[in-house]
């Protein structure tokens, strides 16, 4: 198992993203105040005190194999100017591509279960942008892998840091090409559906949807 020699805010947030937890959920997992997690997002270079280092070690060591693999996959390599020792993982910022796939007046959604079983959430198909891979390529590939739907990127809707997870997200408006929507990733997802574009906020709270996404969906009624 990979070793983190010294946790800082950036690495802690990468672990949070690997666990797919909100700030509140990650704080509860660690048994700390949510404002501490918010501080890590605000200052990625901050180094937590010794007791917190041990808490993060414990959470990482108890994590499932899937979570640990995701942590390494999402944050490989080195930070700029930092030498890494053999076997030591130095995460890079996590980047995720999200596909807003439209078919007439419907949009594709997946229902994702948290790794710790704390709940399920609806969202757009999404996947990690691996080093050296174009975001558009990741968007199309991950959508097919999750849902069985083939799509083509029409245009970029922009990027942002997600308000809950702090992950860097790239959004793409996509056209449906072919395929029957079904859950192809039963380890992480619960369901896949086509939802009416006008009812998306029944699945995802409006304040968590990137405004350009809402604007794009309004074009489809």
CATH number at residue 204: 3.90.79.10
State pTM to two decimals. 0.62
Same domain, 142 and 187: yes
Query: How many domains does the chain contain in total?
Result: 2
Domain boundary among 40, 74, 108: 74
Q: Is residue 125 part of a domain?
A: yes
**Span 102-132, pLDDT tens digits:** 999 999 999 987 654 445 689 999 988 887 8
Domain boundary among 74, 108, 130: 74
**Structural domain of residue 56, as residue ranges?**
9-74
Buried/exposed 125-161: b ≥16 CB within 10 Å, e otherwise: bbbbbeeeeebbebbbebbbebbbbebebeeebeeee
Q: Which of 61-70, 99-108, 175-184 has the lowest mean pLDDT?
A: 61-70
Same domain, 62 and 164: no
Query: Residue length, the chain?
Result: 221
Q: What CA–CA distance (Å, rounded) separates 87 from 152?
A: 39
Interstrand relation of 150-161 and 120-123 (parallel, antiparallel or unpaired): unpaired
Same domain, 162 and 112: yes
Chain-centroid distance of CA 156 in Å reads 18
Same domain, 101 and 203: yes
Q: Is residue 83 part of a domain?
A: no
Q: Which residues contact 58 (CB under 8 A, 6 or more apart)?
A: none
Same domain, 110 and 186: yes
pLDDT at 108: 98
């Amino acid at each position: 198992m990979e070793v983190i020699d010294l946790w800082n805010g950036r690495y802690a947030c990468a672990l949070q993203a690997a666990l797919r937890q909100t700030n509140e959920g990650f704080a509860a997992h660690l048994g700390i105040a949510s404002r501490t997690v918010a501080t890590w997002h605000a200052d990625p270079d901050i180094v937590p005190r010794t007791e917190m280092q041990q808490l993060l070690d414990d959470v990482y060591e108890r994590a499932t194999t899937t979570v640990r693999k995701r942590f390494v996959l999402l944050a490989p390599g080195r930070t700029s100017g930092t030498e890494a020792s053999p076997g030591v993982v130095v995460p890079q910022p996590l980047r995720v591509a999200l596909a807003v796939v439209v078919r007439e007046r419907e949009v594709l959604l997946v229902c994702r279960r948290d790794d710790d079983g704390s709940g399920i959430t609806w969202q757009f198909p999404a996947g990690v942008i691996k080093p050296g891979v174009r975001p558009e390529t990741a968007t199309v590939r991950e959508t097919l892998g999750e849902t069985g739907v083939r799509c083509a990127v029409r245009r970029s809707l922009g990027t942002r840091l997600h308000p809950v997870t702090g992950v860097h997200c790239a959004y793409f408006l996509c056209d449906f090409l072919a395929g029957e929507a079904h859950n192809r990733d039963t380890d992480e997802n619960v369901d896949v559906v086509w939802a009416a574009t006008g009812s998306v906020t029944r699945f995802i709270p409006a304040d968590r949807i990137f405004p350009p996404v809402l604007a794009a969906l309004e074009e489809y009624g």
